[in-house]
Amino acid sequence: MQPEEALNSCHRRQRTLHSHQRAKLSASLETKVRMRVWTAVDLCLENSIILNDRLDDQNMHVVVTCTEALLQAPGLPPGPSSGCPCSLPHSESSLSRLLRALLAARSSLELCLFAFSSPQLGRAVQLLHQRGVRVRVITDCDYMALNGSQIGLLRKAGIQVRHDQDLGYMHHKFAIVDKKVLITGSLNWTTQAIQNNRENVLIMEDTEYVRLFLEEFERIWEEFDPTKYSFFPQKHRGH
Amino acid sequence: MQPEEALNSCHRRQRTLHSHQRAKLSASLETKVRMRVWTAVDLCLENSIILNDRLDDQNMHVVVTCTEALLQAPGLPPGPSSGCPCSLPHSESSLSRLLRALLAARSSLELCLFAFSSPQLGRAVQLLHQRGVRVRVITDCDYMALNGSQIGLLRKAGIQVRHDQDLGYMHHKFAIVDKKVLITGSLNWTTQAIQNNRENVLIMEDTEYVRLFLEEFERIWEEFDPTKYSFFPQKHRGH
């Protein structure tokens, strides 16, 4: 894989450094991107909470890892990275852990997400759909219309998506895996949020929390049934 | 208290109804606001999780309650509503429960909030500061500059506030009460979010979660030390 492809396929993102903080990127990637600093989320408590990495003044770029190995094996359980020759690190990262938690789904995945534009997370959801996992997505009508949203791709792939038609935001950011694991927190599923923001994600196997969030999902799912949409004033047809 | 004052002091918010959904507001308030539908958050699991109310088609306006009783008693423990003659309901609501969880603080309150513009939550934080609780606030530099932010009022009251100077967002939305209770979720502390959005808030007394979020708070607090700010290129002074 060429560096440019690695850049695109791994969706490396960066943020601008102050002039005195500029860090050197590898020469193969430097020409394609502005000088920025890498950040990422990281897992702080095994299988329980993801908090973002803070910047280390001595090591200003925390490199986002390649997640191709996780995402290129439809039908196979997620395994350790292998075989990808791209120039990104292939070690574990918080994104890879989040992907792994999702890709563990065997029967169902409920997503209730204000914003969903991360290509890697989008590919993971499509992989699960291809594997026969029942995927349902609830999202916000405003954000899904923006460029970069994954919602159109998910719908094109045959995944059920419902959205609000409210003025308020559908601001949840949670996922439920196999009706057993709840993934929730501050993180919108965008590359910006994953790589640039300070965020937290909880991954909980607590039965009561899962039940409550699942109830919330089903409630919203029913409410957002497209047959109930009312974009236009109801017409009174004579007969 | 006159209806107009109640409207202002209780910061009632609404959202626009579709024409066929218009619900009647009480006559005393109707002239001041557009026709909208009330929503609110509600507590689903005792002292553990707050999820927003869904709209009920049979009862389109879920009325936000008055929280004056909680907020007008500096030096006293929070108690049941009494004495306020305003026209809003004085029953328990999710906002009042969130306020109660915060006002339970006796020694310390750490706030790490992307957005903070709710006047009621702002007053609660100021009350705690007046009571001698050590309050520290971390927020996002972009949001705090917007109209309606509570950050300026908190600073004016003598409360310590630190903010990022990053391009990425400080996107956490959590509070830690007395280093024992963690309040976290999707909810930004804005009236819009409290009353119009679908949101979730977890209130957890789990030692391990509190410890991890407190560590995250202390890490960010140190990093956002104003003496480390570098808005301008560093000058090399000769001597």
Per-residue confidence at B1, pLDDT binned at 50, 70, 90?
Answer: very low
Rounded to the nearest angstrom, the minimum Cα separation between B54 and chain A is 8
* Alpha carbon distance, N-terminus to C-terminus of chain B: 65
pLDDT at A4: 42
Rounded to the nearest angstrom, the minimum Cα separation between B200 and chain A is 7
The C-alpha atoms of residue B82 and residue A197 are separated, in whole angstroms, by 43
CA distances from residue B131 to A44, B48, B104, B107 in whole angstroms, order as listed: 34, 26, 11, 9
CA atoms lying within 13 Å on the CB side of residue B35: 9
B233 lies within 8 A of chain A by CB: yes
Phi first, then psi, for residue B162 (nearest 5°) are -125, 150
State the average pLDDT over residues B2-28. Answer: 32
Task: Please indicate whether residue A173 is annotated as part of the active site.
Answer: yes
B124 pLDDT higher than 90 = yes
B171-217 pLDDT per residue, tens: 999 999 999 999 999 999 998 888 888 889 988 888 888 988 999 99
Assign A162 to helix, strand or coil.
strand
Residues 42-71 of A with CB under 8 A from B: 44-45, 48-49, 51, 54-55
A196 lies within 8 A of chain B by CB: yes
A191 lies within 8 A of chain B by CB: no
pLDDT at B176: 97
The C-alpha atoms of residue B122 and residue B98 are separated, in whole angstroms, by 12
Beta bridge partners of A189: A116
Of the listed ranges A125-139, A207-221, B6-20, B73-87, the one predicted with least confidence: B6-20
Per-residue confidence at A16, pLDDT binned at 50, 70, 90?
Answer: very low
**Stronger pLDDT, B143 or B188, i.e. the higher one:** B188
Task: Please indicate whether residue A171 is annotated as part of the active site.
Answer: yes
Per-residue confidence at B104, pLDDT binned at 50, 70, 90?
Answer: very high
B127 pLDDT higher than 60 = yes
**Stronger pLDDT, A170 or B57, i.e. the higher one:** A170
Helix, strand, coil in percent for chain B, rounding step 5: 30, 20, 45
- Interacting residues of A13 by C-beta distance below 8 A, sequence separation 6+: A36, A64, A191, A192, A194, A195, A196
Assign A229 to helix, strand or coil.
coil
The C-alpha atoms of residue B66 and residue B61 are separated, in whole angstroms, by 15
B35-64 pLDDT per residue, tens: 222 222 333 333 345 554 433 333 334 447
The C-alpha atoms of residue B136 and residue B154 are separated, in whole angstroms, by 10
State the average pLDDT over residues A12-25. Answer: 29
The C-alpha atoms of residue A133 and residue A58 are separated, in whole angstroms, by 44
State the average pLDDT over residues A71-87. Answer: 64
Rounded to the nearest angstrom, the minimum Cα separation between B184 and chain A is 8
Q: Do A169 and B55 touch (CB under 8 A)?
A: no
A192-210 pLDDT per residue, tens: 888 888 889 988 888 888 9
Best A62, A186, A205, A217 member to test B by mutation, with max B CBs in 10 Å, is A186
Among A167, A195, A208, whose Cβ lies nearest the Cβ of B45? Answer: A208
A209 lies within 8 A of chain B by CB: yes
pLDDT at B49: 54
CB B40 within 8 A of CB B53: yes
Question: With left for phi above 0 and alpha for psi between -120 and 50, is residue A75 left, alpha or beta?
Answer: left
Among B169, B197, B216, whose Cβ lies nearest the Cβ of A171? Answer: B197
CB A163 within 8 A of CB A224: yes
A206 lies within 8 A of chain B by CB: no
Per-residue confidence at B108, pLDDT binned at 50, 70, 90?
Answer: very high
Among A193, A209, A213, whose Cβ lies nearest the Cβ of B171? Answer: A193
Answer yes or no: is the ipTM higher than 0.85.
Answer: no
B29 lies within 8 A of chain A by CB: no
A128-168 pLDDT per residue, tens: 999 999 999 999 998 888 889 999 999 999 999 999 887 78
The C-alpha atoms of residue A123 and residue A132 are separated, in whole angstroms, by 14
A174: how many CB neighbours lie within 10 A of its CB?
A: 24
pLDDT at B76: 54
- Residues of chain A with Cβ-Cβ distance to B166 below 8 Å are 15, 196
DSSP-assigned letter for residue B198: B
Residues 109-128 of B with CB under 8 A from A: 114
**Stronger pLDDT, A97 or B37, i.e. the higher one:** A97
